[in-house]
Amino acid sequence: MPTAPLTGELISFVSEDRPLEGYLARPAMQSEALPGMLVIHEIFGLTDEIRAVAERMAQAGYVALAVDLFANQNKAVCMARMFAGVFADSLDHQGARDTRAAFGVLSGLPGVDPDRLGAIGFCLGGSLAIALACTDTRVKAVAPYYGFNPRPLEAVRRACPVVGSYPAQDPTAGQGRALETELTEAGIASDIKVYHGTRHSFATPGPSFDGVASIDAWNRVMTFFDEHVVSTPGPA
């Protein structure tokens, strides 16, 4: 089946006086403001696989920004600080603030509808997507893949709707189940699924890739985003 033409470019922006970058993908033929999607990478940084996620989002009618949180920095040091922050100060460490800065850039791009914004993230990016959901009211829905929950967990009671995908053979499976319980008790719309027999990074190419689970997760995510991002009414 032929795919619609896209445009892709690297962009630069500033977060707290530090230069960061991102890969911006959008439909080549755009006549109206489209929903925006922030794509947040795994520990490996902005890889071809993450750029491909942004392009899939663009194929689906989003303006997608895949942020590079490690740009212009020592990657090893940055990774260590980022994971320490996820567990010690999960809502306001440097990575969470940089994610919010990238989200602000996305919301202000030409051709992006600032009332229809979401985020999708993988592993580290999944954790950052949940943190974003708890700290920025502009986010309409997030899709964490095998991410860790913020501490305290009660923070998710102020989150937007969440569609989460977790591998059963991974410590994050428990994170997904705990997240589902907390969101349900808070009355927040959610679709959390733990995939039997899968391992960490089941949704991206690599030794743990699971095609069946990956397709199912993607379809769930897009259906959820259709309801909570694309169909979100703007201001009256």
Q: 3-state class of 220 per DSSP?
A: helix
- Range 90-101 burial, b when 16+ CB lie within 10 A, else e: bbebbbbbbbbb
Would you give the DSSP letter of residue 143? Answer: E
* 179 is a domain residue: yes
- Looking at the structure of the chain, the number of domains it has is 1
* 140 is a domain residue: yes
Range of the domain at 170: 6-230
Helix orientation angle between 124-135 and 75-88, rounded to the nearest 10 degrees: 50
Q: 3-state class of 58 per DSSP?
A: helix
Per the omega criterion (within 30 degrees of 0), is the bond before 152 cis?
Answer: yes
- CB-based contact 123:148 (threshold 8 Å): no
* 236 is a domain residue: no
CATH number at residue 134: 3.40.50.1820
* 235 is a domain residue: no
- CB-based contact 8:29 (threshold 8 Å): no
In terms of Cβ atoms closer than 10 Å to its own Cβ (0-12, 13-18, 19+), residue 14 is exposed
Nearest 5°: CA angle at 209, between 172 and 147? 20
* 1 is a domain residue: no
* 225 is a domain residue: yes
* 78 is a domain residue: yes
List the pLDDT tens digit at each of the 236 positions of the chain.
Answer: 456 789 999 999 999 988 999 999 999 988 899 999 999 999 889 999 999 999 999 999 999 999 999 987 766 656 666 666 566 667 988 899 999 999 999 999 999 999 999 999 999 999 999 999 999 999 999 999 999 999 899 999 999 999 999 999 999 999 999 999 999 999 999 999 999 999 999 999 999 999 999 999 999 999 999 999 999 665 43
Separation between Cα atoms, residue 209 and residue 198, nearest integer Å? 8
Whether the model clears a pTM of 0.95, i.e. scores above it, the answer is: no
